């Protein structure tokens, strides 16, 4: 089993990455909620999961759906606006910053695919051109009736929501599509919806997985569809797969089968350490 946590094991795994990348290899990084955990944003499936509201516990699959929103937008909106407020209070951590530096180092040999809707990769400086937000973006909304493909920023005038706040009359004006007047919706992918290219970069993400020489998976449990397909495709195409996580995930076996493995530890430590290895002159590695 290729599960590592010691410093020599870490060096060996990182050296495998640099060897595989060489001078022209492509690094694709897939991130999940774990990369933002050290910024204080709870993960989805951890003990402090994001989905408890007031005295009621909602499973993500219950609340984060089009059908729940269509039936009761005023149940779903406060939750997203509360999450937005919480994410706006958070700052990128050393892991986010290391990924920005990797982007600068590798240029178009680097691509970041994130499941996170918290905006911290962008805030750290990851460029939109090389960052796919495959589950959307809490900072944006779009027409709930799909009258247009455009998305727009959450309006400045909308107040910050606390846990348990309800929609009030004064909020309503901000939560409508400016084009057709229908109720606006958060620009996120819900459980009863499908990935697409326009909003969620489905085909581009699959193409990236196919072209990856190294797929680095950071802080995700591996429970969603597009990441699962990406990992399978990368594996099929012979990519080296390395995982950074606190524990094993649904992707660990793929990483091990690829000749890579899991490095156990917080992303805020592992990513800067990997950056150091990638930045070191070849003779020093």
Task: Give the CA distances from residue 190 to residues 264, 267, 283, in Å, rounded to whole numbers and listed in that order.
Answer: 30, 26, 48
CB of 239 to ligand OAD, least distance (A): 20
Under the criterion CB under 6 A, does residue 271 sit at the interface with ligand OAD? Answer: no
The CA distance from 154 to 169, in Å, is 17
User: Which residue of the set 135, 176, 187, 254 is catalytic?
Assistant: 135
The count of C-alpha atoms lying within 13 angstroms of the C-alpha of 165, restricted to the half-sphere facing its C-beta, is: 19
Closest distance to ligand OAD from the beta carbon of 105 (Å): 21
Helix or strand holding residue 205 (H, E): helix 202-211
Q: Residue 196 CB, nearest distance to ligand OAD (Å)?
A: 13
Tell me the C-alpha distance between 184 and 174, whole Å.
8
How many amino acids of this chain bind ligand OAD (CB under 6 A)?
27
Mapped onto helix, strand or coil, the DSSP state of residue 139 is strand
Known catalytic residue: 135? yes
Contacts of residue 251, defined as CB under 8 A and 6 or more positions apart, other chains included, come to 217, 220, 222, 227, 231, 241, 243
Instruction: Using alpha carbons, select from 261, 65, 114, 84 the residue that is nearest to residue 174.
Output: 84
Assess 266 for contact with ligand OAD (CB under 6 A).
yes
Q: Which stretch binds ligand OAD (CB under 6 A): 2-10, 31-39, 118-126, 155-163?
A: 31-39
Residues 113, 116, 122: CA angle, nearest 5 degrees? 75
Task: Give yes or no for residue 92 binding ligand OAD (CB under 6 A).
Answer: no
Q: Which two tokens stand for residue 281?
A: 């002159």
64 interacts with ligand OAD by CB under 6 A: yes
Coil, strand or helix: which one is 217?
strand
Nearest approach in angstroms of CB 224 to ligand OAD is: 5
- Of 26 and 133, the one with the shorter C-beta distance to ligand OAD is 133
Residues in CB range of 174: below 8 A, 6 or more apart: 154, 155, 157, 158
Among 204, 223, 228, 229, binds ligand OAD (CB under 6 A): 223
For ligand OAD, which residue has the nearest CB? Answer: 34
Q: Which position among 39, 221, 252, 258 is part of the footprint of ligand OAD (CB under 6 A)?
A: 221
Instruction: Give the contact letters, 180-219, x = binds to ligand OAD (CB under 6 A), - = no.
Output: --------xx-----------------------------x
Which CB atom, from 38 or from 213, has the smaller least distance to ligand OAD?
Answer: 38
> Which DSSP category does 176 fall into?
B
Closer to ligand OAD by Cβ: residue 115 or 258 = 115
Q: What's the CA gap between 285 and 282, in Å, rounded?
A: 5
Establish if 119 lies at the interface with ligand OAD (CB under 6 A): no
Q: What minimum distance in Å lies between the beta carbon of 35 and ligand OAD?
A: 7
Rounded to a whole number of angstroms, the minimum distance from the CB of residue 24 to ligand OAD is: 29
44 binds ligand OAD (CB under 6 A): yes
Say which residues have a Cβ less than 8 Å from residue 167's Cβ, sequence separation at least 6: 74, 77, 78, 175
**Active-site annotation, residues:** 135
| Contacting residues toward ligand OAD, per CB under 6 A | 32-34, 37-38, 43-46, 60, 64, 115, 135, 188-189, 219-221, 223-224, 244-247, 249, 266-267
């Amino acid at each position: 089993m290729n599960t590592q946590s010691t410093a020599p094991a870490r060096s060996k795994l990182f050296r495998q990455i640099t060897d595989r990348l060489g001078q022209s290899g492509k690094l694709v990084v897939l991130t999940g909620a774990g990369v933002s955990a050290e910024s204080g944003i709870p993960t989805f499936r951890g003990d402090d999961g994001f989905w408890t509201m007031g005295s009621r516990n909602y499973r993500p699959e219950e609340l984060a759906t089009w059908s729940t929103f269509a039936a009761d937008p005023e149940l779903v909106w406060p939750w997203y606006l509360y999450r937005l407020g919480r994410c706006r209070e958070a700052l990128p951590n050393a892991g986010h910053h290391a990924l920005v530096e990797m982007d600068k180092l590798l240029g178009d040999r680097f691509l970041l695919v994130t499941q996170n809707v918290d905006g911290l990769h962008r805030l750290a400086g990851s460029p939109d051109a090389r960052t796919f937000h495959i589950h959307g973006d809490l900072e944006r909304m779009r027409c709930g009736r799909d009258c247009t493909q455009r998305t727009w920023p959450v309006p400045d005038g909308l107040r910050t929501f606390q846990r348990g706040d309800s929609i009030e009359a004064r909020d309503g004006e901000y939560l409508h599509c400016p084009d057709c007047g229908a109720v606006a919706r958060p620009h996120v992918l819900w459980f009863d919806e499908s990935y697409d290219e326009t909003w969620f970069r489905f085909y581009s993400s699959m193409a990236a997985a196919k072209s990856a020489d190294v797929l680095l998976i950071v802080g995700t449990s591996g429970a969603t569809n597009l990441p699962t397909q990406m990992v399978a495709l990368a594996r099929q195409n012979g990519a080296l797969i390395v995982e950074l996580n606190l524990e094993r995930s649904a992707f660990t076996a793929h990483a091990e089968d690829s000749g890579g493995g899991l490095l156990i530890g917080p992303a805020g430590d592992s990513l800067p350490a990997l950056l150091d290895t990638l930045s070191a002159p070849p003779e020093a590695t």
